[in-house]
């Protein structure tokens, strides 16, 4: 009969919960905080990248004490490639070799399409597409130089596929379509280097972005979700840890939708 050879490793768990150095962009608030906390619980050292938050270092200190792990914040605009590379170098000097990366930073401009401008385009695509590219490329450059495998998770959105009426954010939605495709391109090009790239596509999450929504709009949106509610940020974070871990070692170029069933309807 068929035998399954797990080699010398007993289970992937023996490597999942090994200390890793993980970069989380936008790890100082929203979904990023939950991802940072989930990683810290899985025994990781975390480098948080933020753009302009005044409290990012306090957040890092608080999470560090809470989970008894090294967690440090770094100011860096992910749209600036040179700054991303120099920040990755600094992180490695401070914390050791980066082993995993989560490209989570993302922004939106909500306007009717007739009012969108070139500046809006550069802003949204600069973070959501080029920023993700810069983050992934900086990691892959380090890993290929050292011949080291790696895993990158890109936070896209269910709006890479669906139009989330009535929120008019054409640049946001299309940037998520672009970044999901980018994920597959990078996954294909870097598979020979044993670098995996996957994306997580959240549905509605309870974060600053969505809690500032008009309550009536929010409750209407809930009716569109088979599970009838928005997700808590931690309901997305477990999937991110899984995709960074060796449990997912055969998975690359995939999009995992965590949307309470939104795409069923
Ligand atoms: P938040 O608006 O709560 O936080 C955004 C984060 O990104 C902040 O940490 C911010 O840093 C950081 N950031 C923004 N611009 C830059 C930049 N140029 N360089 C570096 N960091 C930057 O976002 P959410 O937690 O809601 O979203 C996280 C991800 O999840 C995004 O990619 C978003 O598109 C996606 N998503 C969110 C959904 C939701 O319902 N909230 C649904 C589907 C997907 P700072 O604090 O310094 O500004």
pLDDT of residue 145: 97
The residues, ordered by sequence, that sit 6+ positions from 149 with a Cβ below 8 Å of its Cβ are: 143, 193, 194, 195, 196
Q: Could you tell me if 54 and 105 are in contact, meaning their C-beta atoms sit under 8 angstroms apart?
A: no
74 included as an active-site residue: no
Residue to substitute in 24, 25, 26 for testing ligand 1 pocket (most ligand atoms within 8 angstroms of CB): 26
Q: Ligand 1 centroid vs 86 CA: distance in angstroms?
A: 21
Q: Ligand 1 centroid vs 128 CA: distance in angstroms?
A: 9
> What residue's CA is closest to ligand 1, atom 44?
157
**CB of 150 shorter than 6 A to ligand 1:** no
Atom of ligand 1 nearest to the CA of 28: 9
- Chain-wide mean pLDDT for the chain? 92
**234 pLDDT more than 90:** yes
**CB of 103 shorter than 6 A to ligand 1:** no
**16 pLDDT more than 80:** no
**17 pLDDT more than 50:** no
Using pLDDT thresholds of 50, 70 and 90, give the confidence band for residue 10.
low
- Catalytic pick from 176, 180, 257, 262? 176
Using pLDDT thresholds of 50, 70 and 90, give the confidence band for residue 166.
confident
Give CA–CA dist 24/100, Å, rounded.
9
- pLDDT, average across residues 29-40: 96
**CB of 205 shorter than 6 A to ligand 1:** yes
pLDDT of residue 212: 83
157 included as an active-site residue: yes
**184 pLDDT more than 90:** yes
Fold for domain 16-205+234-257?
A: Rossmann fold (3.40.50)
**111 pLDDT more than 60:** yes
Which element (helix H / strand E) includes 65?
helix 56-67
Residue spans of the domains in the chain: they are 16-205+234-257
Nearest to 202 by CA among 109, 79, 78, 104: 104
> What residue's CA is closest to ligand 1, atom 2?
209
Q: Is residue 58 helix, strand or coil?
A: helix
Reported ipTM: the value is 0.99
172 included as an active-site residue: yes
User: How many Cβ atoms are within 10 Å of 201's Cβ, its own excluded?
Assistant: 25
What does the pLDDT look like over 91-101, one tens digit per residue? Answer: 999 999 999 99
pLDDT of residue 164: 80
Window from 20-29, 70-79, 216-225 with minimum mean pLDDT: 216-225
- Catalytic pick from 105, 157, 231, 248? 157
**13 pLDDT more than 80:** no
Atom of ligand 1 nearest to the CA of 236: 30
Q: What is the CA radius of gyration of the chain?
A: 18
Q: Ligand 1 centroid vs 104 CA: distance in angstroms?
A: 6
Q: Ligand 1 centroid vs 261 CA: distance in angstroms?
A: 23
Q: Could you tell me if 30 and 234 are in contact, meaning their C-beta atoms sit under 8 angstroms apart?
A: no
pLDDT of residue 1: 41
């Amino acid at each position: 009969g068929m035998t399954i050879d797990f080699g010398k490793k007993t289970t992937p768990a023996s490597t999942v919960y090994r200390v890793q150095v993980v970069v989380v962009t936008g790890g100082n608030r929203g979904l990023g905080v939950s991802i940072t906390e989930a990683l810290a619980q899985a025994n990781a050292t975390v480098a948080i990248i933020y753009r302009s938050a005044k409290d990012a270092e306090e957040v890092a200190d608080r999470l560090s004490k809470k989970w008894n792990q090294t967690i440090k914040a770094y100011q860096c605009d992910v749209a600036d490639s040179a700054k991303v590379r120099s920040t990755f170098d600094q992180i490695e000097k401070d914390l050791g070799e980066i082993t995993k990366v989560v490209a989570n930073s993302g922004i939106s401009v909500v306007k009717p399409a007739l009012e969108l401008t070139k500046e809006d385009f550069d802003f949204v695509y600069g973070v959501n597409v080029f920023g993700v590219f810069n983050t992934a490329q900086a990691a892959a450059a380090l890993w290929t130089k050292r011949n080291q495998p790696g895993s990158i998770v890109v936070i896209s959105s269910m709006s890479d596929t669906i139009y989330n009426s009535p929120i008019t954010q054409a640049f946001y939605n299309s940037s998520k379509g672009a970044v999901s495709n980018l994920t597959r391109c990078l996954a294909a090009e870097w598979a020979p280097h044993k670098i995996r790239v996957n994306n997580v596509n959240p549905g509605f999450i309870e974060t600053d972005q969505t809690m500032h929504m008009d309550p009536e709009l929010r409750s209407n949106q809930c009716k569109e979700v088979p599970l009838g509610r928005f997700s808590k940020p931690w309901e997305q974070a477990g999937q991110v840890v899984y995709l960074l871990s060796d449990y997912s070692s055969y998975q690359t170029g995939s999009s995992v939708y965590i949307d309470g069933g939104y795409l069923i309807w």
